[in-house]
Amino acid sequence: MRHRSVLLVLTLLGGSLAPAPAAAQWGPRFTVAVNGGYQPSTTSFDDRFTFDLNREVATVETTYPIDAAPLFDAGVSLRLWKGLGIGGAVSRFTADGVVQVEAGLPHPLFFQRNREVSGESGGLTREETAIHIQAQYQLPPFGKLLIVVAGGPSVLDVKQSIATEVNYTDQCPYDAATFVGVDSRRISGTATGFNVGADVRWMFTRNFGVGGLVRFTRAKVDLEIDSRTVQVDAGGAQVGAGLRLAF
């Protein structure tokens, strides 16, 4: 009797964990995913510009660190044949940022005598909206566990606040200046990149479950401001979790 009981338990466990045979049901064809997540990648970019001041040219060098921030993601997938399918997703990332400034400001009374100022100014934001087109492959189901790997092109749109002028104060005899802040303008640009990732789903029923998302996406976006171009890296690592609805 003991041997029969052990054999029965092993048979049940093997049937729930082993990949389903080719003739078994692959699951629903259409899936909707909604995720809350995080983009842990950090990056930065630099810019340099000049402007006329006191009949000379002021030079400004800026650095923009982009920190990690929350992410929202939603997507759909369609299984076409066995594990092969197609899908698409939209992700949105927003981060509050700062700009680090170093500038040389011409003296109002003496030529070629710059006053060096530096500082950091907040209130600059970064927004990224991405559309991901994917070829997908679903591994053979492990009971209620489904794993889908995917990759393809991504279109990333970036909206970034860029410093356009340095604000400062000075007093007679004007030998020194104090950094106050910057004026900025919101610039947008779009570029095509790529995405690769995986979605892991646990389906409580045929139509409802939860899942986790891991994705990496990247594109280089040109931001045109005045007569110069600022190139920025968009995207990065993305992780998330949320609901899965299947039909």
d(C-alpha 80, C-alpha 18), whole Å: 23
For residue 2, pLDDT over 70 is answered with: no
Contact 44, 67 (CB under 8 A): no
d(C-alpha 27, C-alpha 206), whole Å: 7
**Identity of the residue numbered 76:** V
- The whole-number pLDDT of residue 138 equals 95
Instruction: Tell me which of 98 and 17 has the higher pLDDT.
Output: 98
For residue 13, pLDDT over 70 is answered with: no
Strand partners of residue 241: 36, 212
For residue 176, pLDDT over 80 is answered with: yes
Among candidate residues 46, 92, 42, the one with its CA nearest the CA of residue 71: 92
Among candidate residues 89, 118, 90, the one with its CA nearest the CA of residue 103: 118
Residue ranges and CATH numbers for the domains of the chain are: 30-246 (2.40.160.20)
Q: Give tens-digit pLDDT for 93-138.
A: 999 999 999 999 999 999 989 999 999 999 899 999 999 999 999 9
d(C-alpha 129, C-alpha 242), whole Å: 19
- The whole-number pLDDT of residue 7 equals 41
Contact 79, 97 (CB under 8 A): no
Does 173 sit behind a cis peptide bond, omega within 30 degrees of 0 on the bond before it? Answer: yes
Contact 144, 29 (CB under 8 A): no
> How does the average pLDDT of the chain come out, rounded?
90
Q: Give tens-digit pLDDT for 34-58.
A: 999 999 989 999 999 999 999 999 9
Average pLDDT over residues 203-225: 96
- Name the band, by pLDDT with cuts 50, 70 and 90, for residue 226: confident
- The whole-number pLDDT of residue 112 equals 87
pTM reported for the whole predicted model: 0.82
Tell me how far CA of residue 2 lies from CA of 7, 10, 67, 238, in angstroms: 9, 12, 60, 50
pLDDT cut 70: percent of the chain above it: 90
- The whole-number pLDDT of residue 175 equals 93
